Structure 1
Amino acid sequence: MDFRQLKYFIAVAEEENIGRAARRLHISQPPLTRQIKQIEDELGVTLFIRTPKGMELTAVGRLFLEEARNIALLFEQATERTLEAAKGRLGRLDVAIFGSGIIDAIPKIMLAFNETYPGVKVHLHQMGKAEQIEALRQRRINVGFNRMLVPQPDLTSELIFTEPLLLAVNEKHPLSRLDSIPFRALKDHPLILFPREGRPNFIDKVIAICAEVGFFPRITQEVGDAVTGVALVASGFGICIVPKSLTALTLPGVVFRPISERPAHWSVDLSCIYRRDDETPILAAFLGTVRAFRAGLPKQA
């Protein structure tokens, strides 16, 4: 089986019809039908159910389609990275992003990179921390953004900035009447935390800090991301600790308050992570944009 046959299979699977797939591939129907039959014979499985309306994937066919698309993606990336090496400023950059980081800093970095390198096709992938690390090692992405990264021997992380944490409160909540909220007051109210995945994570950080102060937080909800957490605050489910950058997100009924009498390390980082051995020109250009963005930030106390 060769890559051309995989393309034929993907086209038939997506079009669900030999005729439409043949037109898409600019070939006639009989050779396409023969190629699909040859793939099935080689694998020894039935990939399609032939119906009067067209071609319907079997369960095995759906699995094979997922794998075929992965192979096609890797082939596309290999082709574009060859062009990148030859031309320097052309190619593809795969960037992993996550929940709250996409609210403020990451879009600004991506926009600055796009303005400087318009010939680079940037593809964004929503991934948690563990998935980003795996995707880097599998070379499915070039760089990721996340928080509280644990050092990895084959990966490099660079701090972009740290930011203070605020409390998202429903405007009808008693705490909303305070200009700032003492840290110990958190123990008396239901707390929404995020994210559930990628331990150690922000939830672990909050629990550890509360333990240092002498109490265990009343965690009522653990959600996937900060946006969901703030949405639950708007609905009256509790209060939520969020990075300051999330104040750019406005939801009706939610106010943000600083936290007073807090521990000294009451902040969270935003970092980027990439393969230590990745010396491609596009990654170097992107890291240059990240570092320029970091250099332009106000000095932190």
Structure 2
Amino acid sequence: MRYFVAVVTHRSFRRAAAELNVSQPPLTRQIQQLEEILGVRLLERNSRGITLTAAGDSFYADARNILALVDQGATRANAIGQGQMGRIDVGVFGSAIFDLIPRIVLAFREAFPDVEVSLHTMSREEQVKALVERRIDVGFNRFFSDYPGLFWQTIASQRMLAAVPTVHPLARRASLSLRDLDQQPIIFYPPIERPGGFSNFLLRMLHERSVAVHIAQNVEDVITAISLVSIGLGIALGVDSVRNLNIPGVTYVPFTEQDAATFDLCLINRADDHMPILEEFVRTAKVVGLGAVDAA
């Protein structure tokens, strides 16, 4: 088919043979075999070179389109194999979606504009299940522990802060200690009934310091928690990236050095997944995460 297109494009067997770097007899045989396969005559030779039959004219247009698709397919396959094209499904949850994850996605898209990055909001348990079932390629979460077949690594650490109603006396403080939260209404997320998460870690911290915990509300996510802070329902604890939730009526106050806990953000993926595109995404996440740590 490529030989046929070359002959028609140059209107000459001799010029086509020179371009294809073959001698004329094999080129002629290739065209004859093509005509035998199709059962029609495609070319007519004359003193001025060659002309197309009606069948040849039709087949020439189709042949060019087919070869273009073949080239396009080869280019796309090579790009996917080199990690320059394709799709990555990412599980996300928590406050990192307000800062670090968007910066990771932006940096990756700038480097690989032909790769689609699809974000899916999932809890840690949902991310683990989706990774095992291969419905997502990578997840972001905190407090991850070892799980068979999954690999995790810390890409950034963020300091804890308090989201306080602006009208609350504690909102005027430059910094807080955990003891300042004694008897204060606190909004927990995710629900404390869910083991191994942010809320349970906070409860342990407060109990270790003999802080009397007043649970004002259990909610599913940080957006709901900060929204409840804005109407004065209580105080919520989070990490630096929560500041990007610029909701009226909320003041963000850091903790003293003594109580300045930090929380790791983990990237989780399948241990046996070595797709070039995924390896590039992980590399970008680590670079952006390192930059966030340096900036802090």
Contact 2:183 2:212 in 1 (8 A): no
For residue 287 of structure 2, what is the amino acid of its counterpart? A
For residue 225 of structure 2, what is the amino acid of its counterpart? G
Of residues 78, 91, 110, the one that matches 2:105 is 110
| 5+ residue gaps, structure 2 | 1-75
Q: CA deviation at 1:299?
A: 3.6
Of residues 196, 201, 205, the one that matches 1:209 is 205
Q: Partners in 1 of 2:290 and 2:182 — Cα distance?
A: 38
Contact 1:183 1:262 in 2 (8 A): no
Q: Partners in 1 of 2:90 and 2:280 — Cα distance?
A: 13
Q: Partners in 2 of 1:149 and 1:299 — Cα distance?
A: 23
Q: Partners in 2 of 1:86 and 1:257 — Cα distance?
A: 47
TM-score, with length taken from structure 1: 0.68
Tell me the secondary structure at the aligned position of residue 285 of structure 2. Answer: helix
Q: Partners in 2 of 1:189 and 1:239 — Cα distance?
A: 7
Tell me the secondary structure at the aligned position of residue 271 of structure 1. Answer: strand
For residue 275 of structure 2, what is the amino acid of its counterpart? T
Q: Residues 285 and 132 of structure 1: is their aligned pair in 2 closer, same or farther, counting only changes over 3 Å?
A: same
Q: CA deviation at 1:296?
A: 2.4
Tell me the secondary structure at the aligned position of residue 296 of structure 1. Answer: helix
Tell me the secondary structure at the aligned position of residue 140 of structure 1. Answer: coil
Query: What is the match of residue 161 of structure 1?
Result: 156
Query: What is the match of residue 28 of structure 1?
Result: none
Q: Partners in 1 of 2:209 and 2:94 — Cα distance?
A: 28
2:170 maps to 1:175: yes
Query: What is the match of residue 258 of structure 1?
Result: 254
Q: Residues 262 and 230 of structure 1: is their aligned pair in 2 closer, same or farther, counting only changes over 3 Å?
A: farther
Q: CA deviation at 1:182?
A: 2.4
Q: CA deviation at 1:84?
A: 6.7
Q: CA deviation at 1:198?
A: 5.2
TM-score, with length taken from structure 2: 0.69
**CA RMSD, Structure 1 to Structure 2 (Å):** 2.1
Q: Partners in 1 of 2:227 and 2:252 — Cα distance?
A: 13
Tell me the secondary structure at the aligned position of residue 270 of structure 1. Answer: strand
Q: Which runs of 4+ in 1 moved over 3 A?
A: 81-88, 261-264, 297-301
Q: Partners in 2 of 1:168 and 1:232 — Cα distance?
A: 10
Query: What is the match of residue 241 of structure 2?
Result: 245
Count of residue correspondences: 220
Give deviations 1:34-70, integer Å, cap 9, x for gaps. xxxxxxxxxxxxxxxxxxxxxxxxxxxxxxxxxxxxx
2:124 maps to 1:129: yes
Q: Residues 180 and 263 of structure 1: is their aligned pair in 2 closer, same or farther, counting only changes over 3 Å?
A: closer
Q: Partners in 2 of 1:88 and 1:298 — Cα distance?
A: 27
Q: Residues 160 and 261 of structure 1: is their aligned pair in 2 closer, same or farther, counting only changes over 3 Å?
A: closer
For residue 235 of structure 2, what is the amino acid of its counterpart? I
Q: Partners in 2 of 1:297 and 1:125 — Cα distance?
A: 23
Query: What is the match of residue 190 of structure 1?
Result: 185
Of residues 140, 146, 171, the one that matches 1:145 is 140
State, as a whole percentage, how many aligned pairs show the same letter: 39
For residue 243 of structure 1, what is the amino acid of its counterpart? V
Query: What is the match of residue 100 of structure 1?
Result: 95
Of residues 277, 296, 299, the one that matches 2:291 is 296
Q: CA deviation at 1:86?
A: 4.5
Query: What is the match of residue 12 of structure 1?
Result: none
Q: CA deviation at 1:295?
A: 3.2
Of residues 266, 275, 290, the one that matches 2:270 is 275
Q: CA deviation at 1:241?
A: 0.7
Contact 2:163 2:253 in 1 (8 A): yes
Contact 2:82 2:277 in 1 (8 A): no
